[in-house]
Chains A and B, each alone.
Chain A
Amino acid sequence: MIAVRGWIIILGSLVVALVAPHFLPPGFSDWLTRLSTLILVAASWNMMANAGLISLGHSGFWGLGAYSAALLANAFHIPFWLSIVPAMLLGAFFGACLAYITGRLRGLFFAIATLATSEALRVVALMVPKLTGGAEGVFVFDQIRPDRITMTSFSLCLAVATVATSYFLSRSRYQYALRAMRDSESAVQMLGVNPARFRIGVTALSGAIASCAGVITAWFTGYIDPGSAFDLKITISAQIAPLFGGLYTVTGPVVGSIAILALSELTRLYFNYSGGVGLLVYGCILVFGVLMMPSGLVGLWKRRRKPVVTDAAVPARAK
């Protein structure tokens, strides 16, 4: 029954995504495009977090997507909607490799490994100018860039598809395995799931989705360089949105993305975008989010509707 409701919501959102951009002012349309990319990275980051994998390397997926789309488009003049296929494949492949080679690493070390990999990619993009244009970056041919309305519709549809994916993932039997992986992988083995394969699967999926966001940005801005495509800020917003909205939930990344994007517009209005304020706000969200509301906005909302009995936390380890 609920699955039916889920389908209706998804189809409805898709229709809205296709129709609405025709009637929106350009500024808002652009805002929606940026929101979609944020939802893509945030939801994909949250998928990995769900399985206990903290990624500090989502900018790596993003950059891979952006570069592969831009370079392929320039070389073969493929249209923007097609360029998403090789980008997603590359993102998935890279994610799978990452999960495979970091097989034994947990938590913290996995996080550091992802951070290092994405930064290594940035250095490669910078230092191999023959392929990537180096520090000067790449322009996407203007003739093949889609118009604004198509761009917005396309990104919104991708965002809806992503949220739908995490929704169905959360309702599937894998959800238990994912949650169990967060606690301990040996418990997952008892569920009859191969944790190594599972890690690879989740990371590949997450990578594919995150690289879509890069593709959109490349087409949207028409220009990329190593600094912006592999920007650590991407990773930061990918983790802040779910944390702000509600970690491990389906709606959390969406709510969080809307909230922080609105917040960053506001701060920009108020502070004239003097450098640093936006990121300072992000930093404060991270700090206060972790300290004061670890279950995010969605958690606050849920708690308001039905009071949750907080179990007396018993620290397992001696203080």
Chain B
Amino acid sequence: MTAAMLELDNIRAGYNDAIAVENISLTVGQSEVVCLLGANGAGKTTTMRVVTGLIPLLGGTIRYNGEDISQMPPHERVTAGICLSPEGRQVFPDLTVMENLSLGSFNRRARRNRAQTLDQVLTLFPKLAERSGQAAGLMSGGEQQMLAIGRALMGQPKLLALDEPSLGLSPKMVSTVFESIQTIARSGITILLVEQNTRAALSIAQRGYVLSAGRVVHEGTAADLAQSEMVQKAFVGAAFTKQSVRKSRRERRLAESNPGGAGA
């Protein structure tokens, strides 16, 4: 394993009075692709929120390139190179696709090379170029997902965090998106990936962690995890049989809990 880029040490976090994740320790090495697996409600999204600073850390430390960023506000983490494509996409619905992308490179570091990054992102997702003048809220779910990833890329991440990038996509789109992620990974960007689609995730990740009820219950190389009895049973099986049903239900839940994406 190369030098650790991101290091979570015994972190704890939650919402109001409920603790959602506890004792989570994990590392992500430079230029590595690491995936977080786990059932619904396991705490994957919560972990991503803590890493990006959207919710406060209640215990433990987060180190990024050796520096303690536990108390750093989210916008500074973005400037430092941690960019998230959040669960449920969270695009700015009334802004155009191009405005969404430009906002992705709001941070000082990325703003300098905006035009160049934009070219790269539009090459990766040509669909976004076609729709550049359209309001983001009027795009299809899959297109919005591409926009969310593209927007995160516009921030010129050193560590790209992707929370369920395949959520709500057709199988064809899923493979497109995973190809794109692989392309991104090859360009040297470190990736922390949360996925329900275990098989696809393990096919591009080098290592993975399995979360259950807010704790890490299993970790290992992608090959190990793919073989692991437990992971097979717990997720892969379920993913094959119930995937489509669960997805649509989750989609609906997300839409209800976050109408128009407004108001956090």
* Closest partner residue, chain B, to A311 (CB atom): B17
Q: Using a CB-CB cutoff of 8 Å, which residues 275-319 of chain A contact chain B? A: 311-312, 314-319
Give the tally of cross-chain contacts (CB within 8 A): 19
Q: How far is the CA of A317 from the CA of B17 in the complex (A)?
A: 13
Asked if A318 and B15 sit within 8 Å, CB to CB, the answer is no
Q: How far is the CA of A317 from the CA of B56 in the complex (A)?
A: 10
Chain B residues, Cβ within 8 Å of A317: 264
Q: Does B115 contact A (CB under 8 A)?
A: no
Chain B residues, Cβ within 8 Å of A311: 17
Asked if B14 and A314 sit within 8 Å, CB to CB, the answer is yes
Q: How far is the CA of A262 from the CA of B49 in the complex (A)?
A: 51
Q: Using a CB-CB cutoff of 8 Å, which residues 48-80 of chain B contact chain A? A: 49, 54-56, 58, 73-74
Q: How far is the CA of A228 from the CA of B258 in the complex (A)?
A: 46
Chain A: number of interface residues, binned into ranges: under 10
B118 to A: closest C-beta gap in Å: 27
Asked if B73 and A319 sit within 8 Å, CB to CB, the answer is yes
B78 to A: closest C-beta gap in Å: 13
Asked if B73 and A316 sit within 8 Å, CB to CB, the answer is no
Asked if B56 and A314 sit within 8 Å, CB to CB, the answer is yes
Asked if A318 and B16 sit within 8 Å, CB to CB, the answer is no
B92 to A: closest C-beta gap in Å: 15
B241 to A: closest C-beta gap in Å: 34
Chain B residues, Cβ within 8 Å of A312: 58
* Closest partner residue, chain B, to A312 (CB atom): B58
Q: How far is the CA of A315 from the CA of B13 in the complex (A)?
A: 12
B254 to A: closest C-beta gap in Å: 17
Asked if A318 and B58 sit within 8 Å, CB to CB, the answer is no
A170 to B: closest C-beta gap in Å: 24
Q: Using a CB-CB cutoff of 8 Å, which residues 102-121 of chain B contact chain A? A: none
Asked if A316 and B15 sit within 8 Å, CB to CB, the answer is yes
Q: How far is the CA of A312 from the CA of B55 in the complex (A)?
A: 14
Asked if A318 and B74 sit within 8 Å, CB to CB, the answer is yes
Asked if A316 and B74 sit within 8 Å, CB to CB, the answer is no
Asked if A318 and B17 sit within 8 Å, CB to CB, the answer is no
What residues make up the interface of A, taking CB atoms closer than 8 Å to B? 311-312, 314-319
19 interchain pairs, CB-CB under 8 A: A311-B17, A312-B58, A314-B14, A314-B15, A314-B16, A314-B17, A314-B56, A314-B58, A315-B56, A316-B15, A316-B16, A317-B264, A318-B49, A318-B54, A318-B55, A318-B74, A318-B264, A319-B73, A319-B74
* Besides the known contacts A315-B56, A316-B15, A318-B264, 11 further A-B residue pairs in the complex with CB atoms under 8 A apart: A311-B17, A312-B58, A314-B14, A314-B16, A314-B17, A314-B56, A314-B58, A316-B16, A318-B49, A319-B73, A319-B74
The 9 closest A-B pairs by CB, nearest first: A318-B54, A317-B264, A318-B264, A316-B16, A314-B16, A316-B15, A314-B56, A318-B55, A319-B73
